């Protein structure tokens, strides 16, 4: 990947302001935290802010590399009494707030070109915008574009970090990082009656895509096999909500069925109505078994041992810089990964790992 030579930057002023924009899903923002760390390491005294959405903003809670985190709601995330009109009015107010900040550099921290991101950024009025752009030409305001090399596949973290090339920032990437809230973590530890000596295995049963889902009956069988090995307490995680939710289907019913079927085994429900609770809950585990998704990236950013079940090609999205093992069936369907394969991976990777 490369960028156009425009004598950029000639100099970055001592009072320069940066805005990192990442408006996607939870895992996408987790994979952007290494870029934020690199930017802070290179410019320790500059003002660095982030613009995210209300759905993923908790990924950046407690992140000391940022001076401020701005967020807005997407219409599809609106619940309760808030109206879509109200959401758009709030967004306009935020854009005007950002415009008054007079950012020098906006970094569109996506690994692909996003016209929708440009539609927001052009109203912010930054002097320079860095982002990926179509090699065929760009109808927008990215003045320092990067282009994909055809056929190249790199991890999302590396792809996003390359956006720092115009600033002379490169080299080895740091790990992704998220920071659990200490009060929430302590409350959950107490509610679950966990001790510092417990070996805790977290199992997250949800996945966003059909090809990435692992059958619930497989999770039940795996939990029973782990319980038979002894020595572990199991925490069950899932995406909250009803399976019929059009925007964000949840697995409340599936989780309750698993817990009922596994009655008497060392397994406890770990409901996480908010993202902060998911981060805190996963921080209590030593090992996490899950499908490809946001929970997987959070576990990796918490430096947990991860067994990840993939439907898609894991090359771009595998757990970043943590002890992990990726399982993927030749069919590309997570449902074709056998319980035996996951149990064997657990025994090989996690069973004898230090607590």
Domains (ranges, CATH) in the chain? 2-167 (3.40.50.2000), 182-349 (3.40.50.2000)
| 8-64 pLDDT per residue, tens | 655 788 999 999 999 989 999 999 999 999 999 999 999 999 999 999 999 999 999
| 69-93 pLDDT per residue, tens | 999 886 555 555 556 677 778 888 9
Comparing 13 with 2, the larger pLDDT belongs to 13
| 341-351 pLDDT per residue, tens | 999 999 988 75
Beta carbons within 10 angstroms of residue 330's beta carbon: 6
Cα–Cα distance between 130 and 52 in angstroms, integer? 17
**pLDDT, averaged across the chain:** 90
Q: In what order do the strands lie in the sheet with 105-108?
A: 2-3, 144-147, 128-132, 105-108, 17-21, 47-53, 68-72
Instruction: Give percent of the chain above pLDDT 90.
Output: 71
| 185-211 pLDDT per residue, tens | 999 999 999 998 999 999 999 998 999
Is the pTM here over 0.85, yes or no? Answer: yes
Cα–Cα distance between 3 and 21 in angstroms, integer? 19
pLDDT for position 139: 59
Q: What is the dihedral of CA 106, 50, 79, 281, to 10 degrees?
A: 140
pLDDT for position 87: 73
pLDDT for position 138: 63
Return the DSSP state at 318: S
| 126-163 pLDDT per residue, tens | 889 999 988 776 656 688 888 877 788 899 999 999 99
């Amino acid at each position: 990947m490369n960028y156009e030579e425009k004598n950029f930057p000639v100099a970055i002023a001592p009072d320069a302001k940066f805005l990192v924009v990442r408006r996607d899903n939870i895992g996408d923002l987790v994979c952007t935290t290494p870029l934020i760390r690199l930017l802070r390491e290179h410019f320790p005294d500059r003002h660095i802010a982030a613009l995210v959405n209300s759905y993923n903003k908790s990924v950046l809670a407690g992140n000391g590399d940022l001076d401020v985190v701005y967020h807005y709601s997407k219409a599809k995330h609106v619940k309760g009494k808030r109206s879509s009109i109200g959401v758009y009015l709030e967004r306009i107010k935020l854009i005007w707030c950002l415009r008054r900040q007079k950012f020098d550099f906006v970094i569109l921290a996506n690994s692909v070109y996003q016209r929708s991101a440009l539609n927001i950024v052009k109203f912010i009025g930054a002097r320079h915008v860095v982002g990926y752009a179509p090699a065929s030409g760009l109808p927008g305001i990215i003045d320092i574009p990067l282009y994909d090399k055809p056929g190249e596949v790199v991890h999302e973290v590396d792809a996003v970090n390359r956006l720092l090339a115009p600033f002379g920032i490169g080299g080895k990437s740091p790990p992704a990082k998220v920071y659990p809230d200490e009060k929430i973590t302590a409350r959950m530890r107490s509610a679950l009656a966990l001790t510092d000596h417990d070996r805790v295995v977290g199992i997250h049963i949800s996945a966003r895509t059909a090809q990435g889902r692992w059958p619930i009956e497989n999770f039940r069988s795996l939990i029973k096999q782990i319980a038979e090995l002894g020595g572990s307490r199991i925490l069950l995680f899932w995406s909250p909500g009803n399976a019929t939710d059009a925007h964000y289907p949840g697995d409340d019913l599936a989780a309750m069925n698993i817990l009922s079927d596994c009655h008497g085994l060392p397994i406890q429900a770990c409901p996480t109505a908010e993202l902060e609770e998911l981060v805190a809950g996963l921080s209590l585990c030593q090992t996490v078994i899950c499908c490809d998704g946001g929970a997987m990236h959070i576990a990796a950013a918490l430096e947990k041992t991860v067994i990840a079940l993939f439907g898609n090609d894991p090359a771009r999205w595998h757990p970043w810089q943590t002890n992990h093992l990726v399982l993927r069936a030749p069919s590309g369907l997570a449902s074709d990964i056998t319980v035996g394969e996951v149990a064997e991976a657990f025994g090989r990777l996690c069973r004898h790992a230090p607590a």
